[in-house]
């Protein structure tokens, strides 16, 4: 997730427990989705779609937090 912000994500995960939780939950959902799509975990299409929407919402939230972190960091320079 958001590989181009790897350094910022690493720093945010250490400084912000909420961000770390969002990041971990996103990764957990990603694995659940992969397991369902590859047939390892049975799941109906509605449940799969629900997981995908939740994952996207978490990614959006994490992205907003990363952008805000960068903005604040750069304003201090």
- CA 9 to CA 47: how far, in whole Å? 29
Measured distance CA(13)–CA(63) in Å, rounded: 13
Residue-range definition of the domain harbouring residue 15: 3-72
With respect to residue 27, please indicate whether it lies within any of the assigned structural domains: yes
Could you report the per-residue pLDDT of 36-61, keeping only the tens digit for each? 999 999 999 999 999 999 999 999 99
Model confidence pLDDT, tens digit, residues 12-37: 999 999 999 999 999 999 999 999 99
9: pLDDT strictly greater than 90: yes
Q: Is 77 inside a domain boundary?
A: no
Confidence of residue 2 (pLDDT cuts 50, 70, 90): confident
Q: Which of 7, 18, 21 is nearest to 70 (CA)?
A: 7
The chain-wide mean pLDDT, for the chain, equals 95
Under 8 Å between Cβ of 55 and 29: yes
pLDDT at 35: 97
Q: Angle at CA 72, nearest 5°, toward 9 and 61?
A: 45
Integer Cα distance of 8 and 50 in angstroms:
28
Number of domains in the chain: 1
């Amino acid at each position: 997730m958001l590989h181009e912000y790897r350094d910022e994500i690493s720093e945010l995960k250490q400084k912000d427990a909420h961000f770390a939780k969002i990041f971990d939950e996103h990764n957990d959902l990603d694995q659940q989705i992969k397991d369902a799509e590859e047939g390892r975990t049975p799941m109906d299409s509605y449940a799969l779609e629900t997981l995908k929407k939740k994952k996207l919402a978490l990614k959006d939230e994490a992205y907003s937090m990363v952008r805000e972190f960068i903005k604040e960091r750069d304003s201090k320079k």
